[in-house]
Amino acid sequence: MTTRFLSKRVSSIAPSPSIAANALVAKLRAEGRDIVNFTVGEPDLDTPSHILDAATKAMADGETHYTSTLGTPALRDAIVSKLWRDNGLEFTVDEVVAGTGGKQIIFEALAATLDPGDEVIVHTPYWVSYPDITKLSGGLPVVIEGREASGFKLTAADLASAITPRTKWLILNSPNNPSGAVYSRSELEDLAHVLRDHPHVLVMSDEIYEHFVYGDKRHVSFAAAAPDLKDRLLIINGASKGYAMTGWRLGFGAGPKWLIAAIGKLLSQSTTCPSSISQAAAVAAFAGDQTPVKAMASLYQARRNLMAGLLEKIPGLSFTIPDGAFYIFVNVQGLVGKKTPKGKLLTSDADVVGFWLEEAGVAAVVGEAYGISPYVRLSFASGDAVIQDGCARLRKACESLI
């Protein structure tokens, strides 16, 4: 198939590495391979029953038509209430917008604001889609390399040195995918102090993993840490992670009216509105019983501890215990330079991931996909038996290296 008709924009990006890794697992399993899947970026649990009931009722009641582009009044009311209950933030219904997943809100926000050459600051390890979505809108990703020694968190000094007159956005993700880093209030305040000197910079705060924070750590929204920056801040969130609703494709943005209106204009020319059934389900998620969310968080903390304990016993691996999300970002420098039993030299995290898949039947995502090597992302959004089996396979494979 010829590619001569494709735009330079689409040719400049690659498919999502995490989605590609999960697709490879599906392909190998269809071919009969026994694969433990640590690539998965979604809860393995079912959507809570009261949310399913709300969707069923909506269908029975005939709520199967187009809705307002920004989302139904009931959903936007539920989002406003959720932001106050969980984050202590005051928004009005015309300051929130629902979309077909949080990713769509990110896409439309950048499309609505970026002109060719505008810069978007991202910090490694970053979620895989931030740079490519930036490129699709004509922007230039400005990548600040994270350091494991500082917990993979952006520092005020690094932020200050990266801002230029062309900077349009800073994208911040806490809890972070893939590192699990969670910013404290004081750390967010330090970043806000820098941003106050640069009123031309917008802030996108991706808080999709907010419900999964462990131990004595607490999620703090950027808007709560720096309320005076609210007029140039967009919060990204949704139902996917906290409510086990990835397939429902329902995300939201909360920000200044001018930006929400611009996002709405683009949505009106693309998807028109999110699924009416998903919106009804999300009302029950955001405004209904929060007990299942707390139960999921407790379960993931136990799984984190289980996987961390098993990985600690594997030679060549090191990592920082994640404070949030459901991934462990593993440093595989100790494996680079070793040879497989078949004599292949491991020279990168990609080689390590390939070796694990071929030798152990364990699938993971390379750190290169998140902008930093040599690391590997392992998801603990799987049952205890899967975690135990996968880690046992990894230990055997790593112990076989020469």
pLDDT of amino acid 20 = 82
Q: What is the pLDDT of residue 11?
A: 84
What are the beta bridge partners of residue 98? 252
Cα(384)–Cα(307) distance, integer angstroms: 9
> Does the pLDDT at position 2 exceed 80?
no
Is-contact 363 357, C-beta < 8 A? yes
Would you state the CATH architecture of domain 8-46+292-399? Answer: Alpha-Beta Complex (3.90)
How many angstroms separate the CA atoms of 286 and 263, rounded? 22
Q: C-alpha distances in angstroms, 354 versus 166, 319, 366? A: 39, 20, 9
Average pLDDT, the chain: 96
Give the integer Cα–Cα distance in Å for 316 and 340.
13
What does the pLDDT read at residue 1?
54
Nearest to 217 by CA among 297, 158, 146, 308: 297
So what's the pLDDT on residue 3? 77
The confidence band for 24, taking pLDDT boundaries of 50, 70 and 90, is confident
**Higher local confidence (pLDDT), 29 or 217:** 217
Q: What mean pLDDT is predicted for residues 199-221?
A: 98
Task: Provide, rounded to the nearest whole percent, the portion of the chain with pLDDT above 70.
Answer: 100
Q: From residue 119, how far is each of 102, 110, 164, 264, 369 by CA, in Å?
A: 21, 11, 8, 23, 20
Whole-number pLDDT of residue 311? 98
Domain 8-46+292-399 and domain 51-289 have a common topology = no
Q: What is the mean pLDDT of residues 52-77?
A: 98
Correct CATH for 51-289 of 3.90.660.10, 3.40.640.10, 3.40.50.300, 3.40.50.2300: 3.40.640.10
Domain boundaries, the chain: 8-46+292-399, 51-289
- Which of 282, 102, 35 lies closest to 110, judged by CA? 102
What are the pLDDT digits (tens) for 137-156? 999 999 999 999 999 999 99
| Confidence label for 26 from pLDDT (cuts 50, 70 and 90) | confident
What are the tens digits of pLDDT across the range 243-291?
999 999 999 999 999 999 999 999 999 999 999 999 999 999 999 999 9
Residues 294-306, mean pLDDT to the nearest whole number:
98
Q: How far apart are CA 152 and CA 150, in angstroms?
A: 5
How far is Cα 210 from Cα 221, in angstroms, rounded to an integer?
Answer: 9
Using the Cα atoms of residue 49, residue 51, residue 53 and residue 55 in order, give the sign of their dihedral: negative
Report, as an integer, the average pLDDT of 32-48.
93
Whole-prediction pTM value?
Answer: 0.95
Query: Does the pLDDT of residue 356 top 90, yes or no?
Result: yes
Mean per-residue pLDDT for 227-233? 98
